[in-house]
Amino acid sequence: MKIGIVCYPTFGGSGVVATELGKALAERGHQVHFISYHQPVRLDFFSENVSYHEVAVSNYPLFEYSPYETALTSKLVDVIKFEQLDILHVHYAIPHASVAYMAKQILADLGIHIPFVTTLHGTDITLVGRDSGFLPVVTFAINHSDAVTAVSESLRQDTFAHFKINKEIEVIPNFIDLERFSKSRKEHFRKAIAPNGEKLIVHASNFRKVKRVGDVVKVFHRINKKIPSKLLLIGDGPERHAVERDCRDCDDCMDIRFLGKQEAVEEILSVSDLFLLTSETESFGLAALEAMACQVPVISTNTGGSPELNIHGVTGFLSNVGDVDDMAKNAIYILEDETRLLQFKANALERAKEFDINKITPLYENLYERVVAANKILFGV
Ligand code: GMT
C-alpha cells in the first residue's frame, strides 16, 4: 500500500506514534510518505520505503500568522496526486483532520478519490479540541473522516461525550518497539548518577501544565525523605523553567537533575527504578509504556487512559490527581522491599509486551484495507 502520514514532527506522543507506525509499516513492505513542517524526530534513518515531504511555511510579510493549513493542504494534494497514494493517515485532529478533508475535496474535483483515517491522540479532544474556537471544525472533520481511531477506550468515550459524533471510533492503543525499549546494562551510568546506591526515579514529558510536573517533585521530596533517591526529569516545555526554579530552593536540590530533551530515553529508563506520571489527564501515557518496557514500574494518576495501561497493585499504582501523599506512599511501598521491586519490574515488562508494535501494526493495516476497499466500492476505483 502507498500510505501518507501527517503528524507533528516534535517530541510529543502523537508524532512519536505516527513516526514509529510509519517505520513499522515500511518494514512490512508498504511505501510510506511522511508529510510535516519538519523532519519527525524519530525519522533519523534511510529506508527505500520511506519518503519525507516538507511543508514550506510562507513568511510573506502580510501574514501575521502564516497559513500553515493552506500550505499543508496544497502539499497533500501534490504528494497524493504525484505518488498515487492509496490512503492518508492523519495524527492529531487539529488541524490535520480538517486539512485532510479539504485535500480530499480538491482531489475529488480532479477525479482522485482518496480516503483518510484520523487518529485522535488526547489533547486534541480533551483540552484543545473542546475549546469553542475549534469545536465545530473538529466535530465536522471527525464525522467526515473515512475512519477514526482513538488511542484508548477512555479517549473514545471522551470524544463521544464532548462532540456530536455520528460515526464509529475504533480503539487502537499506543504500542512499543520492544527491541529498542528494553533494559540494557548501563551500570556505569547508574553509578555516576547514584553513586551511593540511591534509587532512581524518573519522569519524562513535554512539561506542559497538563503534566503537573510540580507534583512529580512533591512526590519525590516525600520519597527521598524515607528512601535515598535521585530524580531525573527528561524533556522540556513551558513549565520547566518554573519547576526548575522552585527546585533550586529545595533542601534536596542536589538530588534532582533536569536532563532536557533526550534521544536515547531507553538508556535512562534502563537504570531507573520508578516512573512518575502525575498528569491531570493522559489519554494513554506512551511515556509510561516506554518505561514499563524497560522494566520500570509506574506511579500514575487514575484519569483518562492510564488505568488501561497501568494495573493498580501489579505494574505500579494509580492515585487521584494531585494526591501526592498517596503517590509517595505507593512509591515507597514498591521501593522499600527489593523482592517486591523486582516483582513490580517484571510485571511492568509483561504488561508492556501486550502493546508490542508487532501486535498493533496489523490492526492499522487491517483498518487501511477495510477503508480502501470501501472507498473502491464507493467510487469504483
Ligand atoms: O502531551 C503529550 O503527551 C503529547 C500528546 C500528543 O498528542 O503529542 O500526547 C498524547 O498522545 C500520546 C500518543 O497517543 C498519548 O500517549 C498521550 O497520553 C497523550 N497526552 C495526553 O493525553 C496529555
Q: What's the 122 CA to ligand 1 centre distance in angstroms?
A: 5
Q: What's the 309 CA to ligand 1 centre distance in angstroms?
A: 14
pLDDT band at 177 (very low <50, low <70, confident <90, very high): very high
**Distance of alpha carbon 351 from alpha carbon 110, whole angstroms:** 48
For 187-353, CATH number out of 1.20.120.80, 3.30.70.260, 3.30.360.10, 3.40.50.2000 equals: 3.40.50.2000
pLDDT tops 70 at residue 20: yes
Indicate whether residue 14 lines ligand 1 (CB < 6 A): yes
CA distances for 125 relative to 155, 163, 324, angstroms? 8, 9, 26
Indicate whether residue 171 lines ligand 1 (CB < 6 A): no
Indicate whether residue 22 lines ligand 1 (CB < 6 A): no
pLDDT tops 90 at residue 209: yes
**Distance of alpha carbon 351 from alpha carbon 273, whole angstroms:** 16
- Identify which of 5, 89, 121 to mutate to test ligand 1's pocket (most ligand atoms within 8 A of the CB): 121
Indicate whether residue 235 lines ligand 1 (CB < 6 A): no
Backbone angle region of 380, left / alpha / beta, with phi > 0 → left and psi within -120 to 50 → alpha: left
> What is the model's pLDDT at position 11?
64
> What is the model's pLDDT at position 126?
79
Nearest residue by C-alpha to atom 7 in ligand 1:
14
Whether this model's pTM surpasses 0.75: yes
> What is the model's pLDDT at position 51?
96
Nearest residue by C-alpha to atom 14 in ligand 1:
121
pLDDT tops 80 at residue 129: no
**Mean pLDDT in residue range 217-222:** 98
Indicate whether residue 121 lines ligand 1 (CB < 6 A): yes
> What is the model's pLDDT at position 189?
87
Closest atom of ligand 1 relative to the 283 alpha carbon:
22
Lowest-pLDDT range, 15-19, 38-42, 79-83, 356-360?
A: 38-42
> What is the model's pLDDT at position 163?
93
Nearest residue by C-alpha to atom 3 in ligand 1:
13
- Note the CATH number of domain 2-175+357-379: 3.40.50.2000
pLDDT band at 167 (very low <50, low <70, confident <90, very high): very high
> What is the model's pLDDT at position 125?
85
**Distance of alpha carbon 40 from alpha carbon 167, whole angstroms:** 30
Q: What's the 173 CA to ligand 1 centre distance in angstroms?
A: 12
Lowest-pLDDT range, 118-132, 334-348, 357-371?
A: 118-132
**Distance of alpha carbon 209 from alpha carbon 195, whole angstroms:** 33
- Identify which of 149, 286, 309 to mutate to test ligand 1's pocket (most ligand atoms within 8 A of the CB): 286
β-strand pairing of 147-150 with 87-91? unpaired
Indicate whether residue 207 lines ligand 1 (CB < 6 A): no
pLDDT (tens digit, 9 = 90+) per residue, 39-75? Answer: 988 787 788 999 999 999 888 888 888 899 999 999 9
Nearest residue by C-alpha to atom 12 in ligand 1:
13
- Report residue 86 CA to chain centroid gap: 25
Q: What's the 322 CA to ligand 1 centre distance in angstroms?
A: 19
**Mean pLDDT in residue range 275-299:** 97
> What is the model's pLDDT at position 83?
98
Indicate whether residue 210 lines ligand 1 (CB < 6 A): yes
* Mean of pLDDT over the chain: 95
Q: What's the 212 CA to ligand 1 centre distance in angstroms?
A: 14
Indicate whether residue 92 lines ligand 1 (CB < 6 A): yes
- Report residue 167 CA to chain centroid gap: 24
- Report residue 84 CA to chain centroid gap: 29
Nearest residue by C-alpha to atom 21 in ligand 1:
282
Closest atom of ligand 1 relative to the 279 alpha carbon:
23
**Distance of alpha carbon 33 from alpha carbon 7, whole angstroms:** 11
Q: What's the 71 CA to ligand 1 centre distance in angstroms?
A: 25
pLDDT (tens digit, 9 = 90+) per residue, 187-207? Answer: 888 999 999 999 999 999 999
> Could you tell me the residue ranges of all domains in the chain?
2-175+357-379, 187-353
Contact 300, 318 (CB under 8 A): yes
Q: What's the 219 CA to ligand 1 centre distance in angstroms?
A: 22
**Distance of alpha carbon 21 from alpha carbon 121, whole angstroms:** 14
Helix (H) or strand (E) run with residue 121 in it: none
